[in-house]
Structure 1
Amino acid sequence: MERSTVELASRASLRLRLAHGLLRVTLRPAIDGLCVLGEWAPQRAFALANRAELLAVPLRPARGTRRRPVRFPGFRAEWLWHRDDPGPDDIERGAILYFHGGAFIAGGLHSHRRLAARIGRSARLPLLNVAYRQLPEGHITDTVADTLTAYRSLLDRGFRAEHIVFAGDSAGGGLAFAAALAARAAALPLPGAIAAIAPFADFDPAGKRAHPNDRRDAMLSARALAVPVQRGFARDGVLDPAWSPVNHDFTGLPPVLIQVGNTEVLLADSEALARRCAEAGVAHTLQIWDRAIHVFHAGADVLPDARAAIAEVGAFLRAVLPAHRQQLAETAPRVRA
């Protein structure tokens, strides 16, 4: 793998372009409108966003997916794996530690079960989907602490750090980096890779407000992303720069894959993360997908672009994780001398 790679995905499919245009005139105005409630009554808005997770209860992962609930002090998680792949008891193969998105106020096991299971299936790895504490109950410091609790649980079970992947989307994509930085600060061994989908990794909204995608994004605006951090995380109106992964030195981090759309407001955060990787000499790939809506991977049932992106995540993880490389070597045809 080259140390630094930027890949521009091919032109968006017709379905993705239609979805982008439709959401731009429907969902984007609705989310911007909800910002008013978040700014004037943040605790009420955060509590309502938490309850939206109940709407996702009917969602089910693909047939053949196995589930196992896990309870931690203060939060829940669940293992997801396909019946044809190694499960979480096969610690030699490794695992994905997944952090869902939702701007730290929404999302959870139900909303992300189908997407997370697809990613695990693509990588042929069991995946631990973590429902970390969110606003209004949990501050970002609590959230990051939960990621470390989940990571320590894998290490305590016997998983080797280099066989573990930190992955996530949106807020969870930023958390994948925050968790790795927290593990380094705690003198824990670092994971084998990081895979982030449209990561929210800079809590200072200035960069996103100045970015042209603040007007082009089909779903999110800099204002929408600023509400949870400024009304929920800020202390006396002040955000600690250390809470944002983009403000850290990435020296020693494992190989990184970042996927983001070329019209997303979070392209600003993705580019900042890629710069930090480059400055620290961390091998990384930034994939920029044409007209991709935020976390378009969740539409894999109908979007060919989403299926291709998930396949890219799986290919990346199979290429960088030692257990997969060893399996490929063992199954490769031998040439007689």
Structure 2
Amino acid sequence: MTQQQREILDGLLRHGPLDVGGDVTEQRAVFHEMISSVPLPGDVSAEPGELGGVPVVTVATPGADPSAAVLYFHGGAYALGSAADSVGLAADVARRVGARAVSVDYRLAPEHPFPAAIDDAVAAYRALLDQGVPASRVAFVGESAGGGLVAAALVALKETGLPQPASAAVFSPWADLTVSGHSATGKAALDPALTPEALRTRARDYLGEHDAATPLASPVLADLTGLPPLLVQVGSHEILLDDAIRLAARAAHHDVAVELQVWPEVPHVFQGFAALLDDAGQALDAAAAFIRRHWAG
């Protein structure tokens, strides 16, 4: 059944309307339309608010532990998507973890280039701690560009004096804005969702005048020393496969406790398709177990 599910999902993505590298205004609308077409379960609540001046959406499911929180960062190549668009996947994580997810509506490029997204991530985390949630009960989770943002924000935290969260989990992280990994071309025919050209377009929007090799923009090049335990999940049928592998290797090189899970024959952020794909549910279960294992208390 799983192989058939993978083939169905590949076809849906390959013939879908989203063009990540297309006109920003048009593709934001397409992205929102795609996401909002999937109804949320009736027991999911999504409340808009703000943390440290940054808009957020707090996502909760029944039985959530009020003492813990997942700080969630959506994907969209730093130019598309929103906290509201991420509610479905954030809720899947929150339900499995047993805590609320706070999805951060960080500023998007090209209107707000690097490092605006990182500044917003740090500000939201600082405010969450100020509300009394201990760092030992916070996990960072991000998908795609949000996964790269998680890694970059954790590096940025080292300069602020704030404590690291208990753990971080990233799904298909875009962690190299130079788009130089071998899989960018080697997996291009297999990836039904992304192209290297689209990523380079969005990288230019996000970076502005900054070099793509800037470590905070491309955390595969950063000093990851001192980061919390890290889980990296990726599909083997995506051009960001090497980003995930290199991020995990970089973390290991800098003595970070890291787990890398490569799921065969699945696409970019396959975790978002739990309703269609058994692999997605299994990956989310593994991520939740990882997060719970590293929470104190």
Q: Structure 1-normalised TM-score?
A: 0.81
Q: CA deviation at 1:78?
A: 1.1
Amino acid at match of 1:67: A
Root-mean-square deviation over aligned CA pairs? 2.2
Choose which of 126, 130, 146 in structure 2 pairs with 1:152: 126
In the alignment, what sits opposite 1:84? Answer: 63
Inter-partner Cα distance in structure 2 for 1:209 and 1:216:
10
Query: Aligned to 2:188, what secondary structure does the other structure show?
Result: helix
One-letter identity of the residue aligned with 1:201? A
1:241-280 map, 5 Å: 241-242=214-215, 243-280=217-254
Please tell me whether residue 122 in structure 1 is matched to residue 122 in structure 2: no
Which residues in structure 2 correspond to 1:132-147 (within 5 Å)? 132-147=106-121
CA distance in 2, matches of 1:218, 1:79: 31
Q: Whole-Å Cα distance in 2 between the matches of residues 285 and 245 of structure 1? A: 17
Aligned counterpart, 1:214: 188
- 2: CA distance, partners of 1:58 / 1:17: 21
Secondary structure, counterpart of 2:237 in structure 1: coil
2:185 and 2:196 in contact (8 A); partners too: no
Q: Structure 2 CA distance, aligned partners of 1:53 and 1:219?
A: 12
- Highest Rg: 1 or 2? 1
SS in 2 for 1:189: coil
Sequence identity (%): 32
C-alpha separation in 2, matches of 1:187 and 1:176: 17
Structure 2 Cα separation of the partners of residues 81 and 271 of structure 1: 32
Distance 1:319 1:73, change over 3 A: closer
Q: How many residues align?
A: 295
Whichever structure has more helix as a proportion of its residues is 1
Shift of 1:240: 4.8
SS in 2 for 1:259: strand
- C-alpha separation in 2, matches of 1:72 and 1:321: 22
Q: Which aligned pairs between 1:236-315 and structure 2 lie closer than 5 A?
A: 238-242=211-215, 243-315=217-289
Return 117-126 or 49-58, whichever deviates more: 49-58
Q: Which residues of 2 match residues 38-77 of structure 1 at below 5 A? A: 38=22, 45-55=23-33, 56-57=35-36, 59-72=38-51, 75-77=54-56
Cα deviation for residue 65 of structure 1 reads: 1.7
Query: Displacement of 1:12 after TM fit?
Result: 4.6
CA distance in 2, matches of 1:57, 1:49: 14
DSSP-derived class of the 1:298 partner: helix
Unaligned 5+ segments in structure 1 are 1-10, 39-44, 324-337
TM-score by length of 2: 0.91
In 2: Cα distance, 1:164 partner to 1:280 partner: 22
Which residue of structure 2 lines up, in the alignment, with residue 108 of structure 1?
82
Q: Structure 2 regions of 5+ residues with no counterpart?
A: none
Cα distance in 2 between the residues matched to 1:235 and 1:134: 16
Change (3 A) 1:27 1:53: closer
